[in-house]
Amino acid sequence: MTAGCNDILSFALLENCCSDQARGRPVIVTATLGVGGAILTESALSFLGLGIQLPTPSWGNMLRTSQATLTTEPWLALSPGVFIFLTILRINYIGDGLRDALDPSSLRGAVRVRPTLR
């Protein structure tokens, strides 16, 4: 059975659009890692006063405003810090799960070829 020109073209386009060739992982996985980095960058910039300005709530702004009362009320700084950590961790786990689900070598019935050393 031969594949037509449209079949070959659509397969090549889908393969190149859905995978990051440089790193060998799907684009959706790279995007989830980028979202975690963006959340951390926004929080850091807001903490330094360079990101989202106050009255707009942000985890970085919450950390910055709780810095004045850190010795008397440490839970004000603990809450946004823990939520930043948990959110980035969950997003990275989602990306890891998507990588495992979209990995063609982990599909059921796939033949894994191990190179032999001579």
- With a cut of 80, say whether residue 4 has pLDDT above it: no
| CA–CA gap between residue 62 and residue 109 (Å, rounded) | 50
Average pLDDT, the chain: 77
Q: How many other C-beta atoms lie within 10 A of the C-beta of residue 73?
A: 11
List of E strands, the chain: 19-20, 25-26
Asked whether the predicted pLDDT for residue 89 surpasses 90, the reply is yes
Whether 113 shows a pLDDT value over 70: the answer reads: no
Instruction: Classify burial at 18, counting beta carbons within 10 Å of its beta carbon; exposed 0-12, middle 13-18, buried 19 or more.
Output: exposed
67-78: average pLDDT? 88
Report the C-alpha gap between 99 and 101 in whole angstroms: 5
Q: Which residue has the higher pLDDT, 7 or 18?
A: 7
Residues recorded for the chain:
118
pTM of the model: 0.67
Nearest to 38 by CA among 87, 96, 93: 87
- 86 pLDDT tier (thresholds 50, 70, 90): very high
Return the top range by mean pLDDT from 21-25, 53-57, 68-72, 98-102: 68-72
Looking at per-residue pLDDT, the higher value among 86 and 100 belongs to 86
